[in-house]
Amino acid sequence: MDTAATGSFSAEDFRRRASGASGAVDDDFGDHRLNPDLRDMIVRPGLRDAAVLIPVVDHDEGATVILTQRTEKLRSHSGQIAFPGGKIDPEDASPEHAALREADEEIGLNGAHVDIIGRLPDYVSGSGFRIAPVLSVVRPGFDLTINPHEVDAAFEVPLAFLMDPANHRRQSRVWNKRERFFYEMPFGERYIWGVTAGIIRQLYERLYL
């Protein structure tokens, strides 16, 4: 089904598509996807385990996705647009538990409003993380409380915008004298790129392509 043609970007449709999603390890996804010459530098031993929550909000007029603007004070990916998430701690029972905990700590998203519905294969970042993207549907009626030590803002982007491949632009920058390619998805004044855009592209390829 061509979802772009039908305009079906509801949370119900997202839930149906995600119902069979598996969190099996799959090294096909990561920053090396657009940079195959850097694969050995990116997919390597010693990666740190992390998890992010992909929170799809169930609005009648069309589903949205909650994203955050990270503060400039953070050591990793400071100032960037990101999903709620972070490192998996030893006391976390699972990536799902870590993603829910981080979402609560960062933006005050209470787990009582969140239904975990699946997980994408891990995404390997050039910054040394193996990230588990946890899929969820969020029921309206929640109130967010921003943690200013980690997040400057939280906002919602229509799922229809993020799942439209016309908004997935491939760009590059020179880093350490080597050209590195990445996706960008500008949305108004928000610049979505890098790992977050890569995970969004992964979501599109796994569930909507």
Kindly compute the dihedral angle of the four CA atoms of residues 51, 58, 168, 27, in this order, to the nearest 10 degrees.
30
Residue 1 located in a structural domain: no
Q: Which among 156, 117, 158 is positioned nearest to 135, based on CA atoms?
A: 117
The overall pTM is greater than 0.85: yes
Residue 149 located in a structural domain: yes
Comparison of pLDDT for 155 and 74, the residue scoring more: 155
- Could you list the residue range(s) of the whole structural domain that residue 117 is in? 7-157+169-208
* Cβ-Cβ contacts under 8 Å for 36 (sequence gap 6 or more): none
* Cβ-Cβ contacts under 8 Å for 59 (sequence gap 6 or more): 11, 140
Residue 42 located in a structural domain: yes
What is the rounded average pLDDT for all residues in the chain?
91
Q: In this model, does residue 23 exceed pLDDT 90?
A: no
Residue 163 located in a structural domain: no
Handedness of CA 206, 19, 43, 163 (dihedral sign): positive
pLDDT in tens, 56-108: 999 999 999 999 998 877 555 557 899 999 999 999 999 999 999 999 999 99
Q: What's the number of domains the chain is made of?
A: 1
Which pLDDT score is estimated for 5? Answer: 40
Residue 164 located in a structural domain: no
Stretch 168-191: mean pLDDT, rounded?
Answer: 92
CATH of the domain at 186: 3.90.79.10
SS (H, E, C) 157-193: EEHHHHCCHHHCEEEEEEECCEEEEEEEEEECCEEEE
Neighbour-count burial of 71, counting CB atoms closer than 10 A to its CB (0-12 exposed, 13-18 middle, 19+ buried): middle
Give me the residues paired with residue 81 across strands. 69
Which pLDDT score is estimated for 175? Answer: 78
Q: In this model, does residue 4 exceed pLDDT 50?
A: no
Residue 91 located in a structural domain: yes
Residue 162 located in a structural domain: no
Q: Which among 173, 163, 169 is positioned nearest to 203, based on CA atoms?
A: 163
Which pLDDT score is estimated for 13? Answer: 95
